[in-house]
Structure 1
Amino acid sequence: MDTITTLQDILDYVDKHIKDDISPDILAARAGYSTWHFSKVFQWGIGYSLMTYVRNRRLAFAAHELSSGRKILDISMEYGFETHSGFSKAFRRHFGCSPGTYRLHTHCDRPFPPSLPLTNKYLIGGIIMEPKFVTRSAINIAGFAIKTTSTDGENSKAIPAFWDDYMSSGKMENLHAENFIKNHDEYGVCFQVDMETGEFEYVIGVEPIDGAEIPNDYHVCEVPPASYAVFSTPPCAAANFAQNIQGTWNYIFNEWFPKSGYEYAPNCVDFELYDDRCMEDEGKICDIYIPVIKKQN
């Protein structure tokens, strides 16, 4: 077999035995090379060391399992990680966020079998997305809040329903008529998950004027200061807006974070910002703010 065929066979073998014990010696013997030689061949052909590739594939399969609602510890053990902390550390280094944060915001399909002849550029609406980077001080928010959970995908139903109620029940009109509003840009903020219960708070709101009196009818909270990678969703018609937003979230966590050199900043929160660009029926855009720090080597 030529090198590409040999490497493809190894990639297929890894996927088929992703939950089994896999070592450089086992893979080299299957390829018909010494371990030292095959390690060099694999690094040249794939761009990763043998065991780094195996670990990354295990993390990819584990990421798919997160949407099942199973306990993170059970998933980590199934894919060869001996401790919850070891899995969380490896997951964060690869995906740029904790397993809990990933489960909260996105999901991925079962990993496709790797194919060496194919390239993997991730496109949304024909655009390869690159963020801009900004630093923002703390942001006060006044509006409405719900508590939900990512277990069994409850949040993917509860949050859209929360927005529907906000826009159709008069809450939006009443909020924007208040005299404490600093500007009319709307925030959708996802606060941190309770690691024991999986519950988190989601807030829809606006920035109030500093020092303004806010009626008790409204939920008041603070987004902590952070440096952000800001992704603008591709312009689209109203009918495709929600799909574009979710596609952008999937891109951020499945494609951008692993290659970016950044990771999700601890003790910070992410949010969607809806400004005047969201008001039209065509060309709708929103910004997604992801708090980031440089990865530690």
Structure 2
Amino acid sequence: MLESFNDVIEYIENHLLDEIHKQEIEKISGYSDYHFKRVFMFLTGLSLNEYIRKRKLSLATQDLIAGQKVTEVAFNYGYNSSDGFSNAFQEWSGVRPSEISMTTNQYFFPKLEFSYTLKGGISMEFRIEMKEAFNIIGVTKRIALQFEGENEEIINLAQSITQEQREAMHSVGNLYPHQVINASFNFDGRDSDKDGSLEHMIGFLSTNIMGREDLVQIHVAKQLWAVFPITGSFPQSLQDTWARIFSEWLPASSYELVEAPEISFSNYNDPPHARYSEIWIAIQKK
């Protein structure tokens, strides 16, 4: 997998001054647009568009230092106006493009290269299940991606749930695990230049439909899921498993991601050092 990811990086590098086509990325990588961008984001901590934007601004820096005009550089790197380019450049570097030749600090964002790291043979427990269609009913908030530690935005979202909402969700939660779940979906990086973010949902799984305006309902179609049971220190074991799914399990498996909510839950009655959790990701055969 990583070889094909490096081929995509090379394609991007050769077309930073041209239009980059998602169909070509799919062809080179051998993966769907969604799978590639989701795995790319998890492996690098960047959305694909953010990576492309930073590479363009890095090369634009060299062009500006070489004496090219701001308007010319802005046009070359696909900006509709010099103002738009100037704002993006200042946000990235901290200085206006017209000032770059006068500062002693230069800004550089290197080309990525994916490489394998050999790790000790630590087994991963998982099962493949076909699940019937279901609904997720709960509350949502768009949050920034965070790969380590407890996410304060998720904590704030959980604390915002009223008792009435909680009781309503409990009343319709008629599917396993019969408790609060976390679901993530609508990952950016497909249309956004900004830092990675996603829609996070706290709710219950249900076959029912709820018409409350203060609760969101997401329908998930019947499909195949990879389920990863985890017991260990929370939240570290959960986050470590997320990382291993994307960096180890997916590259070695015969499956690819399907665009669907990624689901997890934890049993908070267990002690933090030995807490049971599960991660569900929707998949299909490559």
TM-score range, shorter chain: 0.5 to 0.7
The answer to whether the Cα contact below 8 Å between 1:100 and 1:193 also exists between their aligned partners in 2 is: no
- Structure 1 pair 260–76 and aligned structure 2 pair: CA distance change class (3 A): farther
Q: Hey, what's the Cα distance between the residues in 2 that align with 1:192 and 1:138?
A: 19
Choose the corresponding residue for 2:242, options 228, 232, 249. Answer: 249
The answer to whether the Cα contact below 8 Å between 1:140 and 1:223 also exists between their aligned partners in 2 is: yes
Counterpart in the other structure of 1:286: 277
Residues 4-63 of structure 1 show CA distances to partners (whole Å, capped at 9, x for unaligned) of: xxxxxxxxxxxxxxxxxxxxxxxxxxxxxxxxxxxxxxxxxxxxxxxx98x35726x95x
The answer to whether the Cα contact below 8 Å between 1:88 and 1:98 also exists between their aligned partners in 2 is: no
Counterpart in the other structure of 1:271: 263
Counterpart in the other structure of 2:200: 202
- Structure 1 pair 219–253 and aligned structure 2 pair: CA distance change class (3 A): same
Q: Hey, what's the Cα distance between the residues in 1 that align with 2:44 and 2:239?
A: 10
Q: Hey, what's the Cα distance between the residues in 2 that align with 1:58 and 1:101?
A: 16
Is 1:136 aligned to residue 141 of structure 2?
no
Q: Hey, what's the Cα distance between the residues in 1 that align with 2:250 and 2:166?
A: 35
Counterpart in the other structure of 1:69: none
Q: Hey, what's the Cα distance between the residues in 2 that align with 1:144 and 1:98?
A: 26
Is 1:185 aligned to residue 179 of structure 2?
yes
Give runs of aligned pairs for residues 1-297 of structure 1, distance below 5 A.
55-56=3-4, 58=6, 74=12, 84-91=22-29, 93=31, 98-107=35-44, 120-121=119-120, 123=122, 128-148=123-143, 154-156=144-146, 160-169=151-160, 171=161, 173-178=163-168, 180-183=171-174, 184-193=178-187, 195-197=190-192, 200-208=198-206, 210-211=208-209, 213-233=210-230, 235-237=231-233, 241-265=234-258, 267-274=259-266, 277-281=267-271, 282-295=273-286
Displacement, 1:144? 0.7
Q: Hey, what's the Cα distance between the residues in 2 that align with 1:193 and 1:76?
A: 26
The answer to whether the Cα contact below 8 Å between 1:278 and 1:286 also exists between their aligned partners in 2 is: no
Q: Hey, what's the Cα distance between the residues in 2 that align with 1:76 and 1:174?
A: 55
Residues 136-190 of structure 1 show CA distances to partners (whole Å, capped at 9, x for unaligned) of: 1122121111124xxxxx3218x92232113434x17543323633244222222
Q: Hey, what's the Cα distance between the residues in 2 that align with 1:221 and 1:208?
A: 10
Find the residue that maps to 2:23 and give its secondary structure. helix
* Higher RCO, 1 vs 2 (CA within 8 Å, ≥6 residues apart): 2
**Structure 1: runs of 5+ lacking an equivalent:** 1-51, 63-71, 149-153
- Structure 1 pair 83–221 and aligned structure 2 pair: CA distance change class (3 A): closer
Q: Hey, what's the Cα distance between the residues in 2 that align with 1:244 and 1:172?
A: 29
Counterpart in the other structure of 2:109: none
Q: Which amino acid aligns with 2:129?
A: V
Q: Hey, what's the Cα distance between the residues in 1 that align with 2:116 and 2:43?
A: 21
The root-mean-square deviation of aligned C-alpha atoms, in Å, is 3.8
Paired positions, count:
207
The answer to whether the Cα contact below 8 Å between 1:229 and 1:291 also exists between their aligned partners in 2 is: yes
The answer to whether the Cα contact below 8 Å between 1:142 and 1:207 also exists between their aligned partners in 2 is: yes
- Structure 1 pair 92–113 and aligned structure 2 pair: CA distance change class (3 A): closer
The answer to whether the Cα contact below 8 Å between 1:166 and 1:172 also exists between their aligned partners in 2 is: no
Moved more, 221-230 or 181-190: 181-190
| TM-score where L is the length of structure 2 | 0.58
**Structure 2: runs of 5+ lacking an equivalent:** 46-111
The answer to whether the Cα contact below 8 Å between 1:73 and 1:84 also exists between their aligned partners in 2 is: no
Q: Hey, what's the Cα distance between the residues in 1 that align with 2:265 and 2:14?
A: 34
Q: Which amino acid aligns with 2:179?
A: D
Q: Which amino acid aligns with 2:25?
A: F
